[in-house]
Amino acid sequence: MARIVMKFGGTSVADLDRIHNVARHVKREVDAGHDVAVVVSAMSGKTNELVGWVKGMPKATGANSPFFDAREYDAIVASGEQITSGLLAIALQSMGVHARSWQGWQIPIRTDNAHGAARIEEIDGSFLIKRFGEGQVAVVAGFQGLSPDNRISTLGRGGSDTSAVAIAAAVKADRCDIYTDVDGVYTTDPRIEPKARRLSKISFEEMLEMASLGAKVLQVRSVELAMVHGVRTFVRSSFEDPDAPGMCDAINPPGTLICNEDEIVEQQVVTGIAYAKDEAQISLRRLADRPGVSAGIFGPLADAGINVDMIVQNISEDGSRTDMTFTVPSADVGRALAVLETVRDTVGFDAVQHDDGMSKVSVIGIGMRSHAGVAATAFKALAEKAINIRAITTSEIKISILIDGPYTELAVRTLHSVYGLDKH
Ligand code: ASP
Ligand code: MG
């Protein structure tokens, strides 16, 4: 007998038929004798609709904030999950499964005060463990929690993945099954490269890079949590027949297990290729080369909430002036340039240049730690396709390359093939 947290995303609970299908997946695990807790998202499109309603409201008189009262935003957008948790509990009851819905505040899932993008601070697992003892399937509304001032909070878009992993950690589950509309994590985006393969296993670290760099299967925060708490997380499809043979087994059904690297026996050097489009490059020319310059640039950008990604600074020839290049999301270029103007005199640079429509393509694999020449292979392959490299950054397990946007697909396919990831 195992303890399993099952999470179902928006497309898996999109209508009553699908909710019924989800109930069959849950019943299968219950019948196998497992302790089961379920986490649900809102029906697909519901959260967008709720957010749209909030945005359609007039702002409070005198309010100069660009946004709405975040506490009311949370009270409204958290409601989608309340509906699906209740509907799934009813569907389970109709199949003779002892089930009950629970909202974030009832457990409670305690978060910080950052309404709209709250972080989970504490979940006392004993509430759900007691439900296991009673033979009850707790159906928990994902995405929501309870803030320190006793109000409903939400965890940011896609946050129900994080709810599920945090609950799995709190009840020390053997596994967190994330049911979604794809059957796992692929070596790259199959829409760009049809030869992409499903990975049977991927390490936490690699998955964190894949998710941060554009693979949209899981909320990044959920992968961080899974890594910190060692929650074995299995990404699988809710559209498989719930009663097909082997579906109760953690490894047999199609899917990808995100786990510790020592659980992965056949480690490849490169595991996947990720990409992010719509990056912009900003270069500061002839920048003073002295202590405090980087802080003077990136501090104000951070204060403005602009997410800076790759940063490349050259070593100056004579110790007086240098160049600095970094990337930001294309949508933030205008704001970034405005911030840079305000620091031009204090920081001291001659010119700012910028270019939109860049893409970042990344090669990821923990095998890189112990293999030389991985980067050189990428550069050579891109050169053969006449793809120009604008900037490069690396970490122990990743090489990221900035290129012109129109070459994204070609670069992804080229790298996928050169590292032997194509399916045969
Ligand atoms: N319903 C929320 C959203 O659409 C949370 C989630 O689905 O994970 O962002
Ligand atoms: Mg999601």
In whole angstroms, give the CA distance from residue 394 to residue 375: 9
DSSP run (H or E) holding 74: helix 70-77
| 143 CA to centre of ligand 1 in angstroms | 6
Q: Which string of DSSP letters, residue by residue, matches 191-225?
A: TT-TT--B-SEEEHHHHHHHHHTT-TTS-HHHHHH
Tell me the mean pLDDT in the region 253-281.
92
In whole angstroms, give the CA distance from residue 251 to residue 248: 9
The residue whose CA is least distant from atom 9 of ligand 1 is: 157
Pull the structure tokens for residue 419.
């590292």
Higher pLDDT, 348 or 74: 74
Residue to mutate, 50, 157, 179, ligand 1, most ligand atoms under 8 Å from C-beta: 157
Residue to mutate, 47, 109, 155, ligand 1, most ligand atoms under 8 Å from C-beta: 47
| 313 CA to centre of ligand 1 in angstroms | 38
pLDDT at residue 336 is higher than 90: yes
Give the three-state DSSP class for 381: helix
| 144 CA to centre of ligand 1 in angstroms | 10
Pull the structure tokens for residue 74.
């949370």
pLDDT given for residue 266 in this prediction: 76
pLDDT at residue 318 is higher than 90: no
In whole angstroms, give the CA distance from residue 161 to residue 41: 9
Residue entry with tokens 């958290």: 78
Tell me the mean pLDDT in the region 166-182.
96
pLDDT given for residue 12 in this prediction: 97
Pull the structure tokens for residue 258.
């995100």
The residue whose CA is least distant from atom 6 of ligand 1 is: 158
Task: Give the pLDDT confidence of 183-232 residue by residue, as tens digits.
Answer: 999 999 999 999 999 999 999 999 999 988 777 789 999 999 999 999 99
pLDDT at residue 85 is higher than 90: yes
Cβ 303 vs Cβ 357: under 8 Å: no
Least confident of 145-154, 207-216, 295-304, 386-395: 207-216
Q: Which atom of ligand 1 is nearest to the CA of 10?
A: 7
User: What are the CA-CA distances from residue 396 to residues 264, 365, 368, 402 (Å)?
Assistant: 18, 9, 7, 18
CB atoms within 10 A of CB 241: 11
| 41 CA to centre of ligand 2 in angstroms | 8
Cβ 401 vs Cβ 422: under 8 Å: no
SS3 content of the chain, % helix, strand, coil (to 5): 35, 25, 35
* Non-local CB neighbours of 59 within 8 Å, separated by 6+ positions: 65, 68
| 384 CA to centre of ligand 2 in angstroms | 37
pLDDT given for residue 268 in this prediction: 84
The residue whose CA is least distant from atom 4 of ligand 1 is: 47
| 41 CA to centre of ligand 1 in angstroms | 6
pLDDT at residue 396 is higher than 90: yes
In whole angstroms, give the CA distance from residue 33 to residue 120: 30
Check whether the bond before 108 is cis (ω within 30° of 0): yes
pLDDT given for residue 253 in this prediction: 85
> In what order do the strands lie in the sheet containing 120-123?
120-123, 109-111, 144-146, 152-154
Distance of CA 130 to the CA centre of its chain: 31
Q: Write down all domains in the chain, each with its CATH number in brackets.
A: 3-262 (3.40.1160.10), 272-418 (3.30.2130.10)
Please report the beta strands in 63-134, taking only residues with DSSP state E, as ranges in sequence order: 99-102, 109-111, 120-123
Residue to mutate, 49, 79, 143, 238, ligand 1, most ligand atoms under 8 Å from C-beta: 143
pLDDT at residue 250 is higher than 70: no
In whole angstroms, give the CA distance from residue 221 to residue 111: 14
pLDDT at residue 81 is higher than 70: yes
Tell me which residue of 265, 281, 263 sits closest to 353, measured CA to CA. Answer: 281
- Which residues, judged by CB distance below 6 Å to any ligand atom, belong to the binding site of ligand 1? 9-10, 41-42, 47, 80, 142-143, 157-161
Tell me which residue of 20, 12, 164 sits closest to 90, measured CA to CA. Answer: 20
Tell me which residue of 377, 400, 376, 403 sits closest to 389, measured CA to CA. Answer: 403
